[in-house]
Amino acid sequence: MEQRRFAGNSHWYHETQSSRTAQAAPLVPEAAEIEDRFLLGLAPACQGELNAMLRQAQPALLASRDLYHLLFPAELTTSLTHTLSLYDRLSTALTVAQVTGIQRLCNHYAARLNPLSGPDSSRESNRRLTQITEYARQLASQPTLVDAAALHRLEECGLSAPDIVTFTQIIGFVSYQARVAAGLHALLALPVRWMPGVTIPPDAEPFTEAAAWRPLLAPVELRYATALQLEALTWCQSQSHLSESAWLLAHDASALNGWSRLLNALDATPEGVLAAAVTARINGSAACFARFEQIKLHAALRQGVDDALNIAEERDRAIIQVAAQLTRSPERFNAAHLQPLKATGMNVETLFNVFQHIAQASWQNRLMQSLGTVQAG
């Protein structure tokens, strides 16, 4: 069978074979050229106290913008060990955006993907793209579905360890971006939009405390580490969030460096810590949840979100409800969900900090759950 490549991709649900020679423009072509590709045009709508809130959050927002350009550059050259093309990256981002249901994200990644040439129509290329898409959809929607066998299937279709680490970082980043955008939409009281037919997955089953996390891929070895990898490791190894996973994530040293700088830029507020714990519980990330032993609702939350809600005080209850909604269904998150928190006197800076921690935890959970496994305590 003759192998073919087609310039362009007019659909959100991308295809690797087609009989058409000309394709239509994306739904919103201007979405590809937006200046702020992390907040996707939401910042100019923020006035008054919301504008002051964004100024306060600039360190984390700048780190997020840098990560976007790192993961989705204008041009990209592949190699034998780094085989993910720009098409692979943007099609993965679009898949995750579809799962989150955030229209603004779907428009942007669809518009960026549209002019790129897709893979050829060989059986191997089709299998590779199918595995990538299926894995991204599962990890974005229900992280507990991803296991060592799913990771092995990625290796079987030709992805190297650096590819898999970068691929997982992309899924995590767009999951993070979606929840920051959804939170900002709610603060702006913008209309809620979601894709029809999106099913909210159930929360993860209760789990025991994790004794140890171990990677499912071979980490970088010190004797083979590049100067860039050693620099990133020097910077991030002291961060508790990365103490176990740094040598594995160093397969993509640039992404690790950017990710660690983002973590360092986030202010660890009590409200944000509780919200991150709720997200880890819902996603079933035992390794991440174990870091929140200091919160007073830790034991109840480990049993389930409802258990924690039953004994939480008013402010904590409102935080748990917001974290649960934004984690489970960002596309349905809206201004009404913020009213219980506002009723407790929470200002917009703290609200946005809560959103950032929920989003960051959504990313962290997916890294830890897909790239490693835990032993029960």
Distance CA 301, CA 295 (A): 10
Q: Are 161 and 372 in contact (CB under 8 A)?
A: no
Residue 167: the pLDDT is 98
Residue 6: the pLDDT is 41
pLDDT digits (tens, 9 = 90+) for 31-74: 778 889 999 999 999 999 999 999 999 999 999 999 999 999 99
310 C-beta neighbours (distance < 10 Å), count: 10
Single pTM value for the model:
0.92
Query: In this structure, what is the dihedral angle of CA atoms 141, 147, 149, 151, given to the nearest 10 degrees?
Result: 70
Q: How far is CA 164 from CA 158, 250, 304, 371, in A?
A: 10, 12, 31, 9
Distance CA 355, CA 326 (A): 8
Residue 194: the pLDDT is 55
Residue 350: the pLDDT is 97
Residue 208: the pLDDT is 76
202 C-beta neighbours (distance < 10 Å), count: 10
Distance CA 220, CA 7 (A): 36
Distance CA 148, CA 151 (A): 5
Residue 196: the pLDDT is 57
Distance CA 255, CA 249 (A): 8
- Computed from CA positions of residues 51, 52, 53, 57, in that sequence, does the dihedral angle turn out positive or negative? positive
Distance CA 290, CA 285 (A): 9
Instruction: Tell me what the pLDDT averaged over the chain comes to.
Output: 89
Of 119, 167, 154, 170, the residue nearest 15 (C-alpha):
119
Distance, C-alpha 60 to centroid of its chain: 15
pLDDT digits (tens, 9 = 90+) for 223-236: 999 999 999 999 88
DSSP state letters, 20-72: -SS-PPPSSGGGGG-S-TTTTT-GGG--THHHHHHHHTHHHHHHHHHHHHHHS
Report the run of H or E that residue 255 belongs to, with start and end: helix 253-265
Residue 10: the pLDDT is 38
Distance CA 324, CA 303 (A): 14
Query: In this structure, what is the dihedral angle of CA atoms 270, 273, 279, 280, given to the nearest 10 degrees?
Result: -140
Residue 3: the pLDDT is 42
Low-confidence ranges of the chain (pLDDT < 50): 1-24
Q: Which two tokens stand for residue 194?
A: 């979601």
Residue 2: the pLDDT is 39
Dihedrals φ, ψ of 8, to 5°?
A: 110, 160
Region of 40 (left: φ > 0; alpha: ψ -120 to 50; beta: rest) is left
Residues 6 or more apart whose CB falls under 8 angstroms from that of 196 comprise: none
